[in-house]
Amino acid sequence: GDDLLLYFIEKGDTCAMTLSCCVKQGRSNIRAVAESDVELLMIPVSKMEDWMGKYRSWRAFILDSYHNRMQELLETVDTLAFMNMDERLLKYLRDKAMVNHDDVIHATHQEIAADLHTSRVVVSRLLKKMEREGKIDLQRSQIKVNSL
Tell me what pLDDT residue 121 has: 95
Q: Which of 80, 112, 136 is the last residue of a domain?
A: 80
Is 6 a member of any domain?
no
| Cα(71)–Cα(11) distance, integer angstroms | 18
| Cα(113)–Cα(124) distance, integer angstroms | 9
* Average pLDDT score over residue span 82-98: 92
Is-contact 80 26, C-beta < 8 A? no
Give the whole-number percent of the chain exceeding pLDDT 90.
39
- Record the pTM: 0.68
Q: Which of 80, 111, 128 is the last residue of a domain?
A: 80
Computed over every residue of the chain, the mean pLDDT equals 86
Q: Which of 80, 111, 130 is the last residue of a domain?
A: 80
Q: How far is CA 96 from CA 9, 68, 118, 119, 126, in A?
A: 10, 17, 17, 19, 17
pLDDT tens for residues 99-125?
A: 888 999 999 999 999 888 889 999 999
